[in-house]
């Protein structure tokens, strides 16, 4: 419980492939943010591999043209680069519908305490942590690591479990990001994996991104039992499957 009697959450979200450009102080370093002290060493190792790959090619980064040039430049020099808080850097559909810019002070405070992003480059990122511009999918393969999600699994789990101890963990990750994490259910107050299901019974993919952002906002604004909050949430297209 928090000092206000609310259950402490751990809401697990993916980043966005698209990111806001630019930034400001503080300049980024591997020890930055909530998880920087625990993940600095693997971050540095991954950054060294990405630098050796000259920021990555079109196959690794999944973009071409101007988007590729921007991504390569960002990936070659994240250390010392200007940053934005994670909730400003990430700009995809999930984040648009989470709508951090419209949060009141109480909801923003809870988001800062609760939301964790699973990032291909940074491992774990808090909601307000400083984030440089970058591009690296969790499912990418980077020499000599191999698949980034598999390489992150051990250090990411150790850092997450220490932070999430006794929290109610609500996993809203897509499969690509979920594969980077081996949960330790005994460490948490509860662990719920959420899937969005179409009326046909088919598990939804990309189309559920907006709903995922809306659900996250609902959980941040709800008081009391978060499992009960999940059960009362309604959407015109999707229902939730909880496991």
Give tens-digit pLDDT for 70-111: 999 999 999 999 999 999 999 999 999 999 999 999 999 999
If you average pLDDT over residues 9-20, what whole number do you get? Answer: 96
Is 120 inside a domain boundary? Answer: yes
What is the β-pairing status of strands 130-131 and 84-85?
antiparallel
Q: What span, in angstroms and rounded, lies between the C-alpha atoms of 193 and 111?
A: 19
CB 156 within 8 Å of CB 124: yes
Q: What span, in angstroms and rounded, lies between the C-alpha atoms of 226 and 47?
A: 37
Asked if the peptide bond before residue 144 counts as cis, ω within 30 degrees of 0, the response is: yes
Integer-rounded Cα Rg, in Å, for the chain is 17
Is 59 inside a domain boundary? Answer: yes
Q: Which of 43, 18, 3 is nearest to 159 (CA)?
A: 43
Q: What span, in angstroms and rounded, lies between the C-alpha atoms of 31 and 44?
A: 9
Is 3 inside a domain boundary? Answer: no
Query: Mind listing the pLDDT tens digit for each residue in 163-194?
Result: 999 999 999 999 999 999 999 999 999 999 99
Average pLDDT, the chain: 95
Instruction: Decide: residue 212, CB within 10 A, 0-12 exposed, 13-18 middle, 19+ buried.
Output: buried
Q: What span, in angstroms and rounded, lies between the C-alpha atoms of 243 and 116?
A: 20
Is 1 inside a domain boundary? Answer: no
CB 30 within 8 Å of CB 44: yes
Is 173 inside a domain boundary? Answer: yes
Q: What span, in angstroms and rounded, lies between the C-alpha atoms of 33 and 112?
A: 11
Is 19 inside a domain boundary? Answer: yes
Is 22 inside a domain boundary? Answer: yes
Contacts of residue 76, Cβ cutoff 8 Å, sequence gap at least 6: 50, 51, 54, 55
Is 224 inside a domain boundary? Answer: yes
- Residue 204 lies in domain: 9-242
Query: Mind listing the pLDDT tens digit for each residue in 195-237?
Result: 999 999 999 988 999 999 999 999 999 989 999 999 999 999 9
Q: Give the pLDDT of residue 116.
A: 98
Q: Give the pLDDT of residue 7.
A: 86
Q: Give the pLDDT of residue 206.
A: 86
Q: How many domains does the chain have?
A: 1
If you average pLDDT over residues 59-63, what whole number do you get? Answer: 96
Q: Which residues of 41-53 are buried (b: 16+ CB within 10 A; e: fewer)?
A: ebbeebbebbeeb
H-run or E-run covering 9: strand 9-13
Indicate whether 5 pLDDT > 80: no
């Amino acid at each position: 419980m928090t000092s206000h009697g609310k259950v402490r959450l751990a809401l697990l979200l993916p980043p966005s492939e698209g990111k806001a450009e630019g930034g400001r102080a503080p300049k980024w370093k591997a020890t930055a943010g909530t998880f920087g002290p625990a993940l600095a060493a693997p971050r540095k190792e991954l950054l060294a591999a990405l630098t050796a790959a000259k920021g990555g090619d079109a196959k690794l980064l999944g973009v071409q043209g101007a988007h590729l040039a921007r991504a390569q430049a960002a990936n070659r020099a994240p250390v010392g680069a200007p940053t934005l808080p994670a909730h400003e850097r990430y700009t995809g559909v999930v984040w648009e519908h989470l709508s951090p810019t419209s949060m009141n002070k109480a909801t923003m405070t809870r988001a800062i305490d609760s939301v964790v992003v699973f990032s291909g480059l940074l491992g774990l990122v808090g909601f307000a942590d400083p984030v440089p511009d970058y591009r690296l999918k969790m499912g990418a393969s980077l020499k000599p690591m191999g698949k980034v999600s598999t390489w992150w699994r051990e250090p990411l789990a150790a850092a997450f479990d220490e932070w999430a101890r006794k929290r109610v963990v609500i996993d809203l990750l897509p499969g690509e990001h979920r594969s980077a994490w081996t949960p330790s259910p005994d460490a948490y107050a509860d662990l719920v994996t959420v899937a969005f299901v179409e009326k046909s019974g088919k598990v939804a993919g990309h189309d559920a991104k907006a709903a995922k952002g809306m659900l996250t906002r609902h959980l941040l604004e709800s008081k009391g039992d978060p499992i009960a909050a999940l059960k009362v949430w309604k959407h015109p297209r999707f229902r939730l499957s909880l496991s």
